[in-house]
Amino acid sequence: RLYLLKSSRMSVLTESLRKIREEMDSDRPLSVDTGKSQHAWLVAAVQAYVEHRIGGNVTLKAIADKVGLHEDHLGRVFHEETGTYFSDFVLERRMAEARTRLSAGAASVADVANLVGYTSSQNFARAFQKRWGQSPSQLLRRPAVHED
């Protein structure tokens, strides 16, 4: 399904995305390949927003409200562009960030859970175990490998 937006609606979306970008307070530029499809820039902006806010309460509804779209429509566009559901994308990004932080060994499991947006360490541990096949504690206890 292809959705076309009226030019007046497009300007509202562009302004909303500009506001999101400003809110991100990031030094990272948004790199968007507009040659892929009509909605690639929107999906790339949503992905960048999620990356920057991974520790917060990132919901499709909140992002859709910011850009003036219905959450179902934004969810469909996201899935059509990426082949991944929005919630799966957020979960994967959280788990990847958690694994990176735990591998560095600089924070406790509870701290990492909080940093990636979980309010419950138990829920975090369950999701981590399911994704990586080991508990966060096991990864944290694993000795560092030094290359010579």
62 alpha-carbon distance from chain centroid: 13
Mean of the per-residue pLDDT values for the chain? Answer: 81
Residues 58-100: tens digit of each pLDDT: 999 999 998 889 999 999 999 999 999 999 999 999 999 999 9
pLDDT tier at 57 (50, 70, 90 boundaries)?
Answer: confident
74 alpha-carbon distance from chain centroid: 14
Secondary structure of the chain: what % helix, strand, coil (to 5)?
65, 0, 35
Is pLDDT larger for residue 71 or for residue 3? 71
pLDDT of 12? 59
Residues 7-32: tens digit of each pLDDT: 445 565 666 666 666 655 454 544 44
Mean pLDDT computed over 107-116: 94
